[in-house]
Structure formats: C-alpha cells, structure tokens
Amino acid sequence: MTHGTWEPAPAARWEDAFLTGNGRHGALVFGDPEDDRVIVTHHTLVRPNNTAADTAPPRLADALPALQDALLAGDTTAAERFTDGRPLRWVRPFHPAFQTRVRRAPFSTGAATRRSVDFTTGVVAGVSGERRSEVFVSRADDVLVQYVSQPGPVVEVDLDHRLPGVPAELATGRGLATAGREAVLTLRARYPDSPLGYTGLTLLLSDTGRTTITASGVRIEGARQLLLLTRVRRHEADTCTAMDGETEGLRALVDSGGPLPDLAVVHARLLARHTALHGPAYGRVALDLGADATERALPGSALLGRPDSAALLERLFAAGRYHLLSSSGLLPPRLTGLWTGDWNTAWSGAFTTNANLNLQTASAVAADLPEVTEAQIRLIRRQLADWRDNAREIFGARGIVAPTHTDGVSGHTYHFSREYPLHLWTAGADWLLVPPLAHEEASGRRDPRVTGILRELAAFYEDFLTRTGPDGRIVIVPSYSPENRPQGGSWGAVDATMDIAAARHALRAAADRAPDPDATRLRALTDRLPPYRVNGDGALAEWARPGLGDRYDHRHLSHLYPVWPLDEINPYDTPDLARAARRALELRGSENDSAHGHLHHGLVAARLGDAARTEGALARVLTGDYFHDSLMSAHYPARDVYNADAAHTLPALLIEALVQSTPDRLVLLPAPPARCPRGRLTGVRTRFGARVDLDWSPGEYHAVVRPDRDANVELRNPAGATRLVLRAGEARVVSS
C-alpha cells in the first residue's frame, strides 16, 4: 500500500488519528466503530490572547540610529536594550473546534476493525463487520462529509467540544432540530473574555428509522445509512446569526430537485466532485523504490518499526505530499499542518517563517503542488498592511518586513524577547517569496502579485541599507541569524550571512522586473552588499563581520541560506564557497535533535552534492521515532510534540537528492541516499519549464524530460556535464 496507509485498530490518541483536509477544514478520524469520533479543525480558529496594544509592532524607529551607532562602535549587547519593554507575547494559538460523535448503543459483532486513509482520494475509512464509515473534506464544496453504512440498531450523534485543554470558561450553546429524515445540530462557542467565537453546524440525514432529540444530540433507531455534512465558521460578536444560510447551503449539496435520493448516491456525487480536484493534484508526482510487496502491505505502525525499509520511505513520501496538499488552501500549513486535537498547541500552532514553514513548503514547485504556492501567496497578501507597519514602526522605512511568528491573521511583529529578538530579523519576506518566484520560473509567467510584493520589499532595503563601512560597503545593522548568536556577541549583531543573502536575492529579483532607472539603482545597491566570509576553520561564517565567531551546535542553518534554497552558492559556479559551505555543514551540530534541523541539514547537503550527509539526515529522522501511526510527525524524537515539519519536508529532501533544477540547469542524481539504490521518480517539475521522469539503479539512469517551452540548459549527471537543448512538446531521453 504505497498511496495510503492502514491500521488494524482504532486510534487511541488523537495524534494517531488519520487525517484529511481541504486547506480550510481539517479532520482527525479515530476510526472506532463504537464511538466514531472526528475532530474538526479550521485554519481560522485561533484563540484571542492579547489586546490590540499588545499585538502592535514596537515603536522603535526613533531609537534605531542610536542602536546602529552602538553596534558599529563595538557594543555587542546594544540590541538587548532595543525593545519597548513588553513581556514576551505569543501569537494567538490554533485550536480544534469540536468533535462529531456517532456512538453506537452496546452492540458487539465481534468483528475486527480496520481503518485506512487513501491518499489518492483523501478518504479515511473505518470498517467493522458490515459497518463502514468514510470521511473526507471536499475541495469542491468546502464541507466535511461522513457517510456511515449499517451504523447499528441505535446510534446517538452529537457535537462535543470537550477536547484536551479546552478552556473551562469557553461559553457554549447548542441547537437541535429534527424534521423527517433530517436533523440539524449546532454548537456555538464564545472565547473567554472576548466577543469572538465560532459555530459548528452538522446536517444529519438518515435513510430510514426514527430520530429523536436527546439532551446533547439526536438518537436514531433503525437507520441503514447516515450522512453528516459539517462546517465550522469563526465569527465576531453575534454567534446566533453567524451560520445564517449555512443550513440551506448544506441542503443544496444534497438536493437533486426531487425526493431525497439514496444517501449512497449523494455521497458518491460529493466524493466525485472532490476527487476531481484532489486526485490529479496528488497524483502529479510519485516515488517507487521497488519495495518488497509484503512490506508494502504492512500497517503503518509496523513499517515504522522497520526504518531501513524501502516501503517505509515510499509511504512517508506519499503521506508527506498528501498531508501537505490537504493542509494547503486558504493558508499554507501551520506548525501542526491543519490539525490538532488539543487546545494547548506547542508554539501556538503558528506559522513560523524562519525555518519551519519554509521547510514544509520546500517541495511545492518540484513536487508540482501549485496549490501550496498559491496558499503561501494568500498568507503574504492578507498580511501586507501589517508588514508595512512593521517596517515603519521598527525601522522607520517604507516597504515590508515579515514577522517570524504569525497566527495567519495578524502579520505584526510582537513576539520577541532578549534571547529571541525576532523583531530584528529582516530576511523573512524574501524566504517566503522563494516558492512563488520558483513557480514563476517553472511556469514561465510572471505573477503581478509577486512583482508588487518585491517592489515593496526592495523599497524597504533601500531605506534600511544606509550604513556603510570604511570600504564603502553596506553594513547590515542590526542583523539577526535565527535563532543563534555569535561567539563574542549577542543575538542582535551585524552582517548575518542570511540577511546579506536575502537582501541580495530580493534586490536582484526586484531589479530584474523594474524599469530603468529603478533597476540600475537597485543593482548598484546590490553590488555594495558585503561579501560572505570564510572563518578560520575554513567554513562559511554565520556572520560576515570580522570578530563574530560561530556557535556550531545549533538546530538552525540560517547561514547556509545562499546554498539552499537560493542556489547562489553551488559546486558548479562557486566551488570555493561551496567547499566552505560544506565545511560549515560538517561542523554544524544538531543541538536538541529537532526534526526540522535534520532535514534542513539534508537539504543543504543535497545541494552541495553530499550523498553521505543526505543519507545521514534521512537516517536520523527514520530511526528517531519521529512519526505517529497517522504518519504525521513530531518535532522531537520519541514522538514528542505533534509537528508537521518532518512529514512535509521529507518529500522535498528526497526530490532534491535525486533531481535538482535552476532556470538554466538540470542536475540528475546529485546526492542519492544509500538507502535508495534504485527506483523511479515521476513528474518532477523543473524551473526551466519541463517535467522529468527518472529511473535509476546502481551505475545507470534513464530520464525523460518533457518541456513545456523551449530551453537550453546545462545537464549535470554523475558522468559530468553537457548541454541539453529542449523544444516545447518534444520529449527528450537522457541516460547513462
């Protein structure tokens, strides 16, 4: 089972529940026939935890010149005082809405239970004897659909908000109504000390039998089929009218203009509408490592106990693409994707933009998931006004500065402290723009939205990059390398390598699409940025400023940003800097074994052509017990802290190890892991407008390149380099 996974028992923990989603609504499905629970989530559900004053960016622009003077004069701790004195404020935490429950009266058939998720359709199924429950979240109709056949002689259905960590002060109210074969269940919730809240609504249909209202839901006797259609909405103030029209909207999905049709037919129609969108998106890219058929048939939990299994890697690749697609729509994935079963999500379940979100969406272009790239653009565009506030209030500049943490609604920078002066970080907007820019290259079409964002980012750099050194070069001050600090300095420093690379990348991209004389001015500014520095260990330094030493044992690899994802430093064009970057990677520790650190290490290694380190990164993740039975991952070993970083990033690492591209280069098998001696990778999208299918085995490879437009690119393969001239619509075969 490559394109799905299964378990022989219901999930005992929400972390092991199988997942489905459409990028707006999410569902965690336990698969228990006696108490069929489905936790409902929505990207917009974040709990208020601060006032408007707490979440405004700090007004520090007037103090910026003095800070710059102090840092340039050698006061290495000056940035620790660059604050408005507020305590650390976390962004609003992501939380679940409620769970739908279909509980069966004591009734045992002795039948075994099997639950499964089909990645090609997004359907999570639970089977026990004649009873079958299927759940999916429709991309076409934005509704959570659950169809249950042979539910049992008597079942009770309700919406239950009592999930782990739910605030005791959460105000809730219920609405229940029945008419014939239909019941409407409503759960209204209002956050403590806030006018904000959310409402969930389920339209419940039965084919036959008797429906009565109970204290918390409805009781159904004698039904052979049930269909539940569920939506949730976040709203302000008046919870009673928040779902006006939703009931009729759900009825319209069922109505065929006559008597209520067979519920199986309704379910099939809704599923077909959904799979017409989900199926092709999921199926664009696939990995086959020739795994043993017996191992492919194992449940996921058994496969996880075989870390060297090719079947495990196949399934994790497929699951990672499935979960990334399922959590991307209205917004890209959070730290937890689109899912949580607990109100106390680690790090607020935020979008963290200094590594985590960026790693999760790393495969968006190569794995041909434009849905992910579009979701990232939506996140950026809905926050631009707040990003302008950050630039103005903190730096006294035009343009935009992205926050390190965001709840998806507010884009203000307000999460900072002495050890994490995140308000000093200016590279975030550039990193968030990397997938949209790569998508432009792959498609051959410029997006005017991206052009507008780049124009604002360039304006920020023009206003911010005003300090120079004795050599006339720009000095980036203050500067921050997430989330590290230099030897001989503090967290807020000067000339972090990542900040230099981000400024150079953004200014060049803006100049390439700007009219003269704007383009000339931006290129001149780019040319004055400081060069990178190689330290006494022969490694690319994390800070280009002389006197700032490296702290190697750290989970982030921010200074290797010009290697991955930017391609500015690579073994082909900049071999000396590539060697220094490789040395920096060799010296880097893993600190607390965060999964994102291991995979980030692997991505950089793959760009540098270091197959051994790519293999090592994969091995650490596969042997570290990072994956739940759901095949969603954890942040730390031993499945500690539910987190999507590893699950969503693993496909990117495998693709990077096997196929890489730039607008003028194709690299085949740059760093194949030892655990992947042979296989087939199909559908990889390149940045020069082609798709690549690759077959490989020890000592040989066979690739088919299918270009959408003409291109003349350099082909790099294990044997060397050559030119590859491509013509639109003409497949080209290259092989060893």
User: Both tokens of residue 405?
Assistant: 């943490």
Regarding whether 378 and 243 lie in a shared domain, the answer is no
- The verdict on residue 239 lying in a domain is yes
Q: At what angle do helices 611-623 and 310-326 cross, to 10 degrees?
A: 80
- The verdict on residue 732 lying in a domain is no
Q: What is the mean pLDDT of residues 630-652?
A: 98
Regarding whether 248 and 161 lie in a shared domain, the answer is yes
Q: What is the pLDDT of residues 119-153, one digit of tens each?
A: 999 999 999 999 999 999 999 999 999 999 999 99
CB 724 within 8 Å of CB 714? yes
Task: State the residue for tokens 């609405």.
Answer: 175
What's the DSSP call for residue 63?
G
From the list 654, 630, 634, 629, the residue with the least C-alpha distance to 644 is: 634
CB 659 within 8 Å of CB 694? yes
Q: What is the pLDDT of residues 680-723, one digit of tens each?
A: 999 999 999 999 999 999 999 999 999 999 999 999 999 899 99
Q: Is 658 helix (H, G, I), strand (E, B) or coil?
A: helix
From the list 511, 498, 516, the residue with the least C-alpha distance to 457 is: 511
CB 630 within 8 Å of CB 19? yes
- The verdict on residue 690 lying in a domain is no
One-character DSSP codes across 529-550:
SPPP-B-TTSSB-SB-STT-B-
Alpha-carbon distances of 183 from 134, 245, 297, 413, rounded to whole Å: 19, 16, 40, 45
Q: What is the pLDDT of residues 659-670, one digit of tens each?
A: 999 999 999 999
Lowest mean pLDDT among 261-265, 360-364, 433-437, 662-666: 261-265
The share of the chain scoring above pLDDT 90, in percent, equals 93
- The verdict on residue 675 lying in a domain is no
- The verdict on residue 679 lying in a domain is no
* Final residue before a domain boundary, out of 535, 566, 589: 589
Regarding whether 181 and 158 lie in a shared domain, the answer is yes
Regarding whether 372 and 391 lie in a shared domain, the answer is yes
pLDDT at 656 over 90: yes
Q: What is the pLDDT of residues 476-514, one digit of tens each?
A: 999 999 999 999 889 999 999 999 999 999 999 999 999
Regarding whether 376 and 268 lie in a shared domain, the answer is no
Q: How confident is the model at residue 90 (pLDDT cuts 50, 70, 90)?
A: very high
Q: What is the mean pLDDT of residues 625-634?
A: 98
Task: State the residue for tokens 């979440």.
Answer: 55
Strand partners, 662: 665
pLDDT at 108: 63
- The verdict on residue 635 lying in a domain is no
Q: How confident is the model at residue 260 (pLDDT cuts 50, 70, 90)?
A: confident
Q: How confident is the model at residue 180 (pLDDT cuts 50, 70, 90)?
A: confident
Element (H, E) at 146: strand 144-149
Q: What is the CA radius of gyration of the chain?
A: 26
CB 343 within 8 Å of CB 167? yes
d(CA 321, CA 25): 18
- The verdict on residue 314 lying in a domain is no
**How buried is residue 312: exposed, middle or buried, by Cβ count under 10 Å (0-12/13-18/19+)?**
buried
d(CA 251, CA 183): 11
Q: How confident is the model at residue 255 (pLDDT cuts 50, 70, 90)?
A: confident
Regarding whether 162 and 65 lie in a shared domain, the answer is no
pLDDT at 215: 87
d(CA 529, CA 465): 9
* Final residue before a domain boundary, out of 248, 282, 316: 282
CB 550 within 8 Å of CB 588? no
Regarding whether 80 and 34 lie in a shared domain, the answer is no
List the CATH number of the domain containing 543: 1.50.10.10
pLDDT at 312 over 80: yes
- The verdict on residue 107 lying in a domain is yes
Lowest mean pLDDT among 21-35, 108-122, 349-363, 534-548: 108-122
Number of compact structural domains in the chain: 2
Please give the distance of CA 711 from its chain centroid, rounded to a whole number.
Answer: 31
pLDDT at 245: 85
CB 117 within 8 Å of CB 21? no
Give 649's contacts (C-beta < 8 A, 6+ positions apart).
320, 359, 360, 362, 363, 595, 596, 599, 600, 603
Regarding whether 333 and 236 lie in a shared domain, the answer is no
pTM score, two decimals?
A: 0.97
Regarding whether 208 and 76 lie in a shared domain, the answer is no
CB 185 within 8 Å of CB 163? no
One-character DSSP codes across 662-720:
ETTEEEESSS--TT-SSEEEEEEEPTTSEEEEEEEETTEEEEEEEESS-EEEEEEETTE
User: Both tokens of residue 543?
Assistant: 């800070």
> Hey, CA dihedral for 552, 556, 561, 567, is it positive or negative?
positive
Q: Which domain holds residue 206?
A: 4-43+95-282
pLDDT at 110: 72
pLDDT at 376: 98
Regarding whether 102 and 12 lie in a shared domain, the answer is yes
pLDDT at 29: 98
pLDDT at 52: 81
List the CATH number of the domain containing 269: 2.70.98.50
d(CA 528, CA 526): 5
pLDDT at 237 over 70: no
d(CA 113, CA 135): 16
Q: How confident is the model at residue 107 (pLDDT cuts 50, 70, 90)?
A: low
Regarding whether 65 and 160 lie in a shared domain, the answer is no
pLDDT at 109: 63
Query: What residue type is 463 in one-letter code?
Result: D
* Final residue before a domain boundary, out of 257, 282, 307: 282
CB 78 within 8 Å of CB 59? no
User: Both tokens of residue 677?
Assistant: 């001696």
Give the residue with greater pLDDT, 238 vs 568.
Answer: 568
The share of the chain scoring above pLDDT 70, in percent, equals 98
Q: What is the mean pLDDT of residues 32-36?
A: 94
Mean pLDDT of the chain: 96
Q: How confident is the model at residue 582 (pLDDT cuts 50, 70, 90)?
A: very high
First-to-last CA distance in the chain?
A: 31
Q: What is the pLDDT of residues 384-426, one digit of tens each?
A: 999 999 999 999 999 999 999 999 999 999 999 989 999 999 9
Regarding whether 126 and 75 lie in a shared domain, the answer is no
Please give the distance of CA 15 from its chain centroid, rounded to a whole number.
Answer: 17
